[in-house]
Amino acid sequence: MEKIDVLLVGGGGREHALAWKLAQSPRLGRLYAAPGNPGIAVLGECVPVQPLEFEKIVRLAGERQVGLVVVGPEAPLAAGLADRLRQAGIRVFGPSAAAARIESSKAFARELMRRAAVPQPEHARFRDLASASTYLDGLAARGIETAVVKASGLAAGKGAVVCDSLEEARTAAREMLVDHVFGESGSEILIEERMEGEEASFFVVTDGEAAAPLLSAQDYKRALDDDRGPNTGGMGSYAPAPLLTPELCAEAMERVVRPTLRALSETGAPFQGCLYAGLMNTTAGLRVVEFNCRFGDPETQAVLPLLDEDLLELFLAAAERRLEERALRWKPERAVTVVLASGGYPGSFESGKPISGIEEAEAAPGVTVTHAGTARREGRLVTAGGRVLGVTATGNSFGEARDRAYQAAEKIRFEERQFRRDIAERVVESRSTAGPTMR
Ligand code: GLY
């Protein structure tokens, strides 16, 4: 069997989960990561190169003669890393900059969905405050009292403001268009209908034409229990999402994924990589909240432990445009991920706190710990970011997975550790089954 060396770009919890699953492939030769993190360093060689240092990444991939580059985060994809690698003749799992516009330009994504008749909320786009204000006046005249204001460009997950009143929407529009709180990313905004309903993350691995759906997941964006507090990068997740029944997954493939992939191909930008649809099940049916051009974080940490397939083979098939459209195999289990964060996150926090208890936590059945904001200083593992670690546990039910995840989380110690106590609480009683047959 020919072994393949892989370079993984990124260094967060999502990338550690990808590295962990890739390392289970019998086809994996050496694993490199740029820049990786102390958790990934146990699985492969971490090289101090940042995801936006394109020339260094291309050189590294060439020097180490890797057979595949896997790009984790959106920023290098949006800036054209996959294009640069392909130009250099290097195989890559990740979309071109043109295809990544599905995440890097919310205006482009909404227009693409309109052309492809993909179900989405009512919306309009603006580049100046006067036009945005006139539109909000029009909403008021129709008796509409709420809205969502979004920066069109990338804003590190902070670019969508869910507004309880049109006054709040006006303020958000001013902050983006006039005060430039998101810089160039907010020079164009969307004002969208505020939809009511639960949201879930739906992922497919695709070679641009064929698409293999992964298990869906739900994440927790707010810092505090009961969805209070500020938005974060994600404080926990669980998979599969009972909200997305096999019927809704099939509908998502038919009405969302396939028309979107076709429309991208028609614009000359076929999407190769992981397409992530944020879906809401509203009273009017399934709607797309947003698309992302990569795996979700921390959803990936919950989804991949359930995958009963070779992830490297799947990525190679997508990168070589020979993906088979088939239902993937999944373990009939549930997974829950609890994120351990630094005290104060997502506001200011201190770093450099010694971490203990990871080995003890991982000794329990079904538990894996992914690193996100950690570093090694003088041989000691210390905190080095807002989201520090993700504790994932699998089990035969959400109850078992959740109990295991929290018992393991309690074993990991660092000063001012904070985490939500209600991850997956709402699904513990759920009797819905995993979706190994979904398509
Ligand atoms: N979990 C949300 C994201 O990855 O964007």
Write out the DSSP string of 23-38.
TT-TTEEEEEEEE--T
Both tokens of 177, joined, read 């268009």
Q: Which residues of 106-129 are buried (b: 16+ CB within 10 A; e: fewer)?
A: bbbbbebbeebebbbbebbbbeee
Residue 220 to residue 339: CA distance in whole angstroms: 10
Q: Do residues 169 and 191 lie in contact, with contact meaning Cβ atoms separated by under 8 Å?
A: yes
Q: Find all residues with CB under 8 Å of 426, minimum gap 6, and list them.
A: none
Residue 18 to residue 14: CA distance in whole angstroms: 6
What pLDDT is stored for residue 429 in this prediction? Answer: 67
In angstroms, the Cα distances linking 349 to 236, 324, 383, 391, 418 are 19, 46, 10, 20, 11
**pLDDT per residue as tens digits for the range 205-240:** 999 999 999 999 999 999 999 999 998 999 999 999
**pLDDT per residue as tens digits for the range 122-132:** 999 999 999 99
Spacing, Cα 140 to ligand 1 middle (Å) = 32
Mutate to test the pocket of ligand 1, among 201, 290, 295 (most ligand atoms within 8 A of CB): 201
- DSSP structure class, residue 256: I
Whether the predicted pLDDT of 38 surpasses 80: yes
CB count within 10 Å of CB 141 equals 8
Residue 437 to residue 120: CA distance in whole angstroms: 26
Mutate to test the pocket of ligand 1, among 292, 304, 337 (most ligand atoms within 8 A of CB): 292
Per the confidence metrics, is the pTM higher than 0.85? yes
Average pLDDT over residues 357-381: 97
Average pLDDT over residues 14-19: 98
Average pLDDT over residues 341-368: 97
Spacing, Cα 106 to ligand 1 middle (Å) = 15
Spacing, Cα 167 to ligand 1 middle (Å) = 28
The ligand 1 atom at the shortest distance from the C-alpha of residue 295 is: 4
Q: For atom 3 of ligand 1, which residue has the closest CA?
A: 296
What pLDDT is stored for residue 439 in this prediction? Answer: 28
What is the band of 437 on the pLDDT scale with cuts at 50, 70, 90?
A: very low
The ligand 1 atom at the shortest distance from the C-alpha of residue 294 is: 4
Residue 185 to residue 436: CA distance in whole angstroms: 39
List all residues whose CB is within 6 A of at least one atom of ligand 1.
157, 219, 234, 292, 296-297, 299
% pLDDT > 90, the chain: 95
Whether the predicted pLDDT of 71 surpasses 90: yes
The ligand 1 atom at the shortest distance from the C-alpha of residue 234 is: 1
What pLDDT is stored for residue 1 in this prediction? Answer: 83
Tally the residues of the chain. 439
% pLDDT > 70, the chain: 97
The ligand 1 atom at the shortest distance from the C-alpha of residue 299 is: 1
What pLDDT is stored for residue 157 in this prediction? Answer: 80
Q: Which residues of 228-244 are buried (b: 16+ CB within 10 A; e: fewer)?
A: eeeebbbbbbbbbbbbb
Whether the predicted pLDDT of 431 surpasses 70: no
What pLDDT is stored for residue 432 in this prediction? Answer: 47
Spacing, Cα 75 to ligand 1 middle (Å) = 13
Whether the predicted pLDDT of 249 surpasses 90: yes
Whether the predicted pLDDT of 164 surpasses 60: yes
Q: For atom 4 of ligand 1, which residue has the closest CA?
A: 296
The ligand 1 atom at the shortest distance from the C-alpha of residue 157 is: 5
Bridge partners (DSSP) of residue 381 are 376
The ligand 1 atom at the shortest distance from the C-alpha of residue 298 is: 1
In angstroms, the Cα distances linking 163 to 58, 145, 181, 184, 219 are 43, 9, 17, 22, 20
CB count within 10 Å of CB 247 equals 9
What is the band of 158 on the pLDDT scale with cuts at 50, 70, 90?
A: confident
Spacing, Cα 297 to ligand 1 middle (Å) = 5
Q: What is the mean pLDDT of the chain?
A: 96
Mutate to test the pocket of ligand 1, among 202, 219, 339, 370 (most ligand atoms within 8 A of CB): 219
Residue 145 to residue 281: CA distance in whole angstroms: 21
Spacing, Cα 405 to ligand 1 middle (Å) = 20
The closest of 360, 359, 367, 349 to 405, measured between CA atoms, is: 367
What pLDDT is stored for residue 438 in this prediction? Answer: 34
The closest of 399, 407, 401 to 430, measured between CA atoms, is: 399
Q: Do residues 219 and 286 lie in contact, with contact meaning Cβ atoms separated by under 8 Å?
A: no
How far is Cα of residue 254 from the mean position of the Cα atoms in its chain? 22
What pLDDT is stored for residue 156 in this prediction? Answer: 84
Q: Which residues of 258-296 are buried (b: 16+ CB within 10 A; e: fewer)?
A: bbbbebbeeeebbbbbbbbbbbbbbeeebbbbbbbbbbb
Q: For atom 5 of ligand 1, which residue has the closest CA?
A: 296
Q: Which residues of 172-182 are buried (b: 16+ CB within 10 A; e: fewer)?
A: bbebbbeeebb
